[in-house]
Structure 1
Amino acid sequence: MADIEFSAEEKSVIVDKIQRYFDEELGQEIGGFDAEFLLDFFSHEVGAYYYNQGLNDAKGLIEERLTSLTDAIYEIEKPTTFAR
């Protein structure tokens, strides 16, 4: 899987969130370059886990919907009898 790529605007928002987290939760300042480097590191090293979990969540939702659709089809099925 290729690395996750964000638009410049998305990356800017995420970098800001990383900087804010470091400041508010850790009491440390982190520069924009370091925050972007950290984002790239986590995207490369951890991103696939989040991506795969998203796929599994989507698969589960599709399976639920397909089961519901199958049940709905059975509900409208007409009874048949075979005469001999």
Structure 2
Amino acid sequence: MQTERVTFLTTPDHKAGLARRAAAQGISVGEYVRRKTDEDDELTPEQEAELVMLVAHVNEAIPQMAATLDAMIDTVRHTREEIAGTLDRLDRSE
């Protein structure tokens, strides 16, 4: 098998991360990068199904999250109004 050298520049932190991940698998950084670049970019049917399920859960959760945020905004607004009213009353009593 004939090989050719490929060089790329990266940050020291990224290089250290590559070295850690490679070491965790007991392989060289070069082998780690080769394996990662050879991986197929397409999802497996299992990954696709899991992604569809996760998206459905997120889509179901978003309305409740929005309602919770709206309630929090109302609570903060009400609290600010109460504080402003209390400060006004204190200013008038002095």
- TM superposition score normalised by structure 1: 0.45
Structure possessing the higher radius of gyration over alpha carbons: 2
- TM superposition score normalised by structure 2: 0.42
